Amino acid sequence: MKKYQYLLAGTALGFALSVSLPAHASGNYEAGKAKSTPCAGCHGADGVSTVPSFPKLAGQNSDYLYHALKDYKAGKRKNPIMAGQVEALSDTDMQDLATFFSKQQGLYLKY
Amino acid sequence: MKTTTMTLCASVLLALAVPVQAAGDPKAGQLKTSMCAGCHGIPGWRTAYPSVYSVPKLGGQHADYIVAALKAYKEGERSHPSMKGIAGSLSEQDMEDLAAYYASSYSGPAN
């Protein structure tokens, strides 16, 4: 009976964790780093842009970055510079870039 | 003459060195976050079905970029149902204040 309770508690904890943890795009960090050179010109080498009109990417949620890139590519989000940049990116490229920038130090959750 | 020249040089240097700040007030912005914090202030919060992804982190983001994003939502250039509604209810001063708050290190009155 006790064993069953532990099992139940473990399952509940696992479920709670899977719900609360942010979803991460399953990109490759090193591949993303290698592909990030064109981004650095505006967003900074580590995603900490020094130009106020260009957003910082460092530390941003990876699935948000991936979503933003996909929206630019689909034309749902419009920006002349970004439209050109994403044109040649594959789905894998976008996931890799999102993963790389999400793991840099910069943005933080602010209440 | 020498003093005048030096003053002039100092003024020019200062003007170059001080970054252009959005006209927002972080303290005023902090008082306007009630509509933002329910999503952007919750760790791991995600957007609603059908397009599910983590909402972006705002802490440390450039104020100019946040203002531009809010205006784009208000004007329909960027589409997201809740952000369109919320940005639509904000004045330009509200946007500047909120952006200044999220960009700054000010996190509210000490208690």
Q: Does the distance separating the beta carbons of B60 and A107 come in below 8 Å?
A: yes
Predicted confidence at residue B111, as pLDDT, reads: 65
Chain B residues bordering chain A (beta-carbon distance below 8 Å) = 19-20, 22, 33, 37, 40-41, 43-44, 46, 51-65, 68, 77-79, 102, 107
Task: Report chain A residues whose CB lies below 8 A from the CB of B37.
Answer: 111
Q: Residue A20's pLDDT band (boundaries 50, 70, 90)? A: very low
Q: Could you state, in order of their start, the residue ranges of all structural domains in chain B?
A: 24-103
Residue-wise pLDDT tens digits, A81-95: 999 999 999 999 999
Under CATH, which architecture does the A26-102 domain have? Orthogonal Bundle (1.10)
Give me A30's structure tokens: 């090193």
Give the phi and the psi of residue A12 in degrees, each rounded to 5: -65, -40
- Homologous superfamily (CATH) for B24-103: Cytochrome c-like domain (1.10.760.10)
Average pLDDT of chain A is 87
A92 touches chain B (CB under 8 A): no
Whose CA is closest to B102, among B72, B69, B57, B71?
B57
**For residue B41, which amino acid is it?**
G
Buried b (16+ CB within 10 A) or exposed e, B66-86: bbbbbebbbeeebebeebbeb
Low-confidence residues of chain B, pLDDT below 70? 1-22, 111
Calculate mean pLDDT across residues A42-56.
97
For chain A, the structural domain boundaries read 26-102
> What ipTM was reported for this prediction?
0.78
